[in-house]
Structures are given as C-alpha cells and as structure tokens.
Amino acid sequence: MKYELENISEPNLLREIFSYDRIPAVKFDGKPVAPSIPKDIWITDTTFRDGQQARPPYTVQQVVEIFKFLNRISGTRGLVRQTEFFLYTETDKKAVRACQELGLKFPEITAWIRAVKKDFEIVKEMEIRETGILTSCSDYHIFLKLKKNRRQALDEYKDIASAAIENDITPRCHLEDVTRADIYGFVIPMINELLEMSEGSGKKVKIRLCDTMGYGLPYTCASLPRGIPALLSAIRKNTDIKPEQLEWHGHNDFHKVLVNAVTAWLYGCSAANGTFLGFGERTGNPPIEGLVFEWMGLTGIHDGIDPTAITDAAEYFTKQIGCTIPSNYPFVGSDFNTTRAGIHADGLTKNEEIYNIFDTDRWLRRPAKVAITDKSGLAGIAYWLHSNLGEAASNIRKDNPGILAIKKWIDDEYNNGRMSTISEEEMLIQSRKCMPELFK
C-alpha cells in the first residue's frame, strides 16, 4: 500500500496519547514485531552538537582531545563512524579545522545546519561531505512552531535536501519529534518523497529518527507513534530506505535513552547516535560508553576497538574540563565496580566473577574495588588488602589478627560518629600499623 501525504488543515496532536495534563499514555496494539537487526551496526556521535547544547562550549583544544578519544574507541573498525559539528562561530570552525588536520579516518566529520540554503555555503567552505538538516515532522512542530501545513513543510524540506545534493553534499534529514508524528500520514510519505527526489543523483538521503522528547518505547507491542519496533517496521515495509540510511537519535526524558537506541538497532537502524557521558539537550542523549558495550554484546566483536579510551576520556572530562560524574554512573563513575557490602567483598575474595559484571580491568583498566565503611566487614578489609598490596597480601585470610585489629579501629571510628568512607590513605596507615610484615 502506498501512503500519500495527508495535508490536513488542523494539527493532529494525538490527544488520546498526549493529553498534556496527564502522563503520556502507553498504548499497545497487540501486534508483536519481529526484530530485523541490520548486518552492520555502528555508533555516530553528537558530542560537539547536541552535547554542547547542554553545557558551556568546549575550547578548540578540548574538542580535539575528545575527538581523539572517539577515534581510539573507533579503532580499525570505525565503530564511532561519524561526529557532527556546529559551524556558526569562529570557534566552531577552528575546532573542525583542527580535527581535520589530524588526518584521522574515524569519526568522519559532518555538520548540522538550519533548513536554510545559504548555510550550505559554510558546509562547502569547510569541505564537509555530509550535513544534518532540521526537518521537523510532528504536527506540534509543523503547525504550532513553523506555522505551516504538512505539504508546505515537506516541500520546503525537499527543496533544502535537493540544494544539498546540488552542492555535492549528502543530506541527513533530522525528523524532529518523530515519536509524536503521524507516521502513515506524514513520516512515510516524507521519506518516500525524499528518496524519489534523490533518485539518479548518486547521493543517498539519510534519515535521522529523532525521539526529541524521549517518548519512544522499546516494547514489541507498543503502538505508533511511540513504539520503536512498530515505527521501524512501518518504515521498512512502506519505504525503500536501507538500514544504512537510518539513524536513531534519542533523549532521556523517561529514562529509556539507551534501551531505545539499542531497540532501534534491533529493528532496522544501522546507526545509533550518542554523546560522551550522555550530555545533550535537557535530559541528554544515549551515552557513547553504554552504546559501545551494547554493541560488543550484540555483535560479539571485541577486537579492533579500544574501550579503554572510555576510562581515559572520563578522566579528561573530570580533571581537565571540570565535569562532575556521579560516582555510581555505569562504566566511568568512581564507584561503578566498587562494593561496600561485606558479603559482596567476601564473594570478590573467593572469585571476582561473582560480583563484577565482566573483566573491567581488561576492557576499562578498572579493576573491581571495595570501599571501606562500617558495612565492609572482615571480608571487605581482606579484599582491600589483596587489591592494594598485591602479592604480599594475596594469602591473607579474613580471620588474620591484623585484619581483626583494623576492623576494631574502623568500628571505633563509626561508633564515635564518623559518617564518611575510610580513605585509601587511612587504610594504608592502619595496614602498616597492624600488619607491618606486609611492608617489608
């Protein structure tokens, strides 16, 4: 069935789902969708575009260093295939040129522009081969923001995309607010008309599906427009677009940003768009570090990339840029693989696999740790000694008199009102005092 654009006179705001005075409704239509994962999936980055809308601008040098981390993660496989930049300020342009001068294959530098023809001159000036173009697709944006009807909006988008192709630039159309859009009445006709417009040009129009408000749902039976499996299935069945032309860009308003991106991979999108540490407009985008490990799990590929760059990037963000990373943030938080519970530490002492998610030392250079508190117990102290004093403490058991003495000191600290974690320095002092034989 060929769906034609429905050029309605009034916006369809889907009030049965988005009533505004109530939480958006989760609807199911009872039609499960089978996964259709592409043969090749990858990550794209928007740290320098959407990511910079959530924080103070990066300096040129900071952009260059972050770009290098993206390159290290990409490795020889090009896992992080592209990254996008603003081009409107002199600092933006200097940052792009500095990254271009590195001569790195990955990530490819792309741009983002407004749907304005004159902006292509900047893209050409910077010798960039692909640019994102804002092409809002929900009636909220078409009618209420742009003050147009659907046909006017689509004709304008096609005109801009055509201008990109005429300038030998690949257009990447950002379907803003796709999870509040009329999928059969606008989105599918839009994709088909863009594909038809580009036929014979030698350029493949790309489509970025933007879950601008985080409304997307990963559930297999979730209804349109929120259901990501249903959305990708509808696009696959009713357009000729290829997986490599599709990209998912999500936001974390409802705590689903990472699972939604992975769901898009599973149901037909080759590219998932993210940022370092999930920085992005409002609640942020899929975190690059999460996408990397999801990709490794889905593909089974562990070679040709460098996940340890994630640890180095996080250190750079905290020490050089001044970002605060929550201690419990997965993969990069200071405590992400640190336990304070004695029973967990006892498990780590017996076998690290019991309480560590994978070999974090190998893939992130982050060995499992314990933090010492009044909850750590003898096992926690024993594991701390094993981890920090190496071979000398490898055979120390938790019933060792020295460990009992350290435990008594810790208990006294907390019984006297202490509220903070025992520091590494304090543990070393007590270890030297109570177990001097380990330091000979």
245-289 residue pLDDT tens = 999 999 999 999 999 999 999 999 999 999 999 999 999 999 999
Q: Please compute the mean of the pLDDT values over residues 127-146 and round it to a whole number.
A: 97
Q: List C-alpha distances in Å: 64 to 98, 99, 276, 287, 332.
A: 7, 6, 14, 19, 21
Closest CA to 39 of 287, 301, 288, 307: 301
> Which two tokens mark 217?
């749902």
Q: Look at residue 108 in the predicted model and tell me its pLDDT.
A: 98
Q: Look at residue 350 in the predicted model and tell me its pLDDT.
A: 64
Q: What is d(CA 151, CA 219) in angstroms, rounded to the nearest whole number?
A: 32
> Which two tokens mark 33?
């969708």
pLDDT over threshold 80, residue 345: no
Place of tokens 């938080």: 333
Q: Please compute the mean of the pLDDT values over residues 325-332 and round it to a whole number.
A: 93
Q: Which amino acid is at 110?
A: T
Give tens-digit pLDDT for 203-223: 999 999 999 999 999 999 999
Q: Look at residue 65 in the predicted model and tell me its pLDDT.
A: 98
Please confirm whether the linkage preceding 225 is cis (ω < 30° from 0): yes
3-state SS, 316-332, equals HHHHHHCCCCCCCCCCC
Q: Look at residue 321 in the predicted model and tell me its pLDDT.
A: 95
Give tens-digit pLDDT for 310-327: 999 999 999 999 999 998
Q: Please name the residue ranges forming H helices in 75-127.
A: 90-100, 119-125
Q: Please name the residue ranges forming H helices in 108-254.
A: 119-125, 139, 150-166, 188-198, 228-238
Q: List C-alpha distances in Å: 63 to 83, 99, 126.
A: 11, 8, 16
pLDDT over threshold 70, residue 142: yes
Give tens-digit pLDDT for 372-416: 888 888 888 888 887 777 777 778 888 899 999 999 999 998 899
> Residue 65 CB: number of other CB atoms within 10 A?
17
Q: What percent of the chain has pLDDT over 70?
A: 97
Q: Look at residue 375 in the predicted model and tell me its pLDDT.
A: 80
Architecture of domain 42-321: Alpha-Beta Barrel (3.20)
- Give, in degrees to the nearest 5, the angle at Cα 189 between 231 and 135: 80
pLDDT over threshold 60, residue 342: no
Q: What is d(CA 360, CA 330) in angstroms, rounded to the nearest whole number?
A: 11
Q: Look at residue 59 in the predicted model and tell me its pLDDT.
A: 96
Banded model confidence at residue 140, pLDDT cuts 50, 70, 90: very high
Q: Are 253 and 213 in contact (CB under 8 A)?
A: yes
Give the total residue count for the chain: 440
Q: Look at residue 422 in the predicted model and tell me its pLDDT.
A: 84
Place of tokens 């009992």: 404
pLDDT over threshold 80, residue 371: no
Q: Look at residue 372 in the predicted model and tell me its pLDDT.
A: 82
Q: What is d(CA 299, CA 266) in angstroms, rounded to the nearest whole number?
A: 11
Question: Average pLDDT, whole number, for the chain?
Answer: 93
Q: Look at residue 397 in the predicted model and tell me its pLDDT.
A: 85
Q: Look at residue 376 in the predicted model and tell me its pLDDT.
A: 80
Give the pTM.
0.89
Please confirm whether the linkage preceding 107 is cis (ω < 30° from 0): yes
Lowest mean pLDDT among 147-161, 275-289, 342-356: 342-356
- What secondary structure letter does DSSP report for 7? -
Domain boundaries, the chain: 42-321, 338-439
Q: Look at residue 390 in the predicted model and tell me its pLDDT.
A: 75
For every residue of 30-84, DSSP letters joined together read S--------S--EEEE-TTTTGGGGSSPPPHHHHHHHHHHHHHHHTTTTSEEEEE
Q: Look at residue 118 in the predicted model and tell me its pLDDT.
A: 84
Burial pattern 129-153, b for ≥16 Cβ within 10 A else e, equals ebbbbbbbbbbbbbbeeeeebbeeb
Q: Please compute the mean of the pLDDT values over residues 355-381 and round it to a whole number.
A: 85
Q: Look at residue 419 in the predicted model and tell me its pLDDT.
A: 85
Phi, psi of 253 (to 5 degrees): -55, -30
Give tens-digit pLDDT for 74-96: 999 999 999 999 999 999 999 99
Q: Please compute the mean of the pLDDT values over residues 30-36 and round it to a whole number.
A: 90
Which pairing describes strands 271-274 and 42-45: parallel, antiparallel, or unpaired?
A: parallel
Name residues whose C-beta falls within 8 Å of residue 78's C-beta, 6 or more positions apart in sequence.
42, 105, 106, 107
Q: Which amino acid is at 85?
A: F
Q: Are 167 and 133 in contact (CB under 8 A)?
A: no
Q: Look at residue 120 in the predicted model and tell me its pLDDT.
A: 87
pLDDT over threshold 70, residue 309: yes
Furthest C-alpha separation in the chain: 85
Place of tokens 């259709």: 36
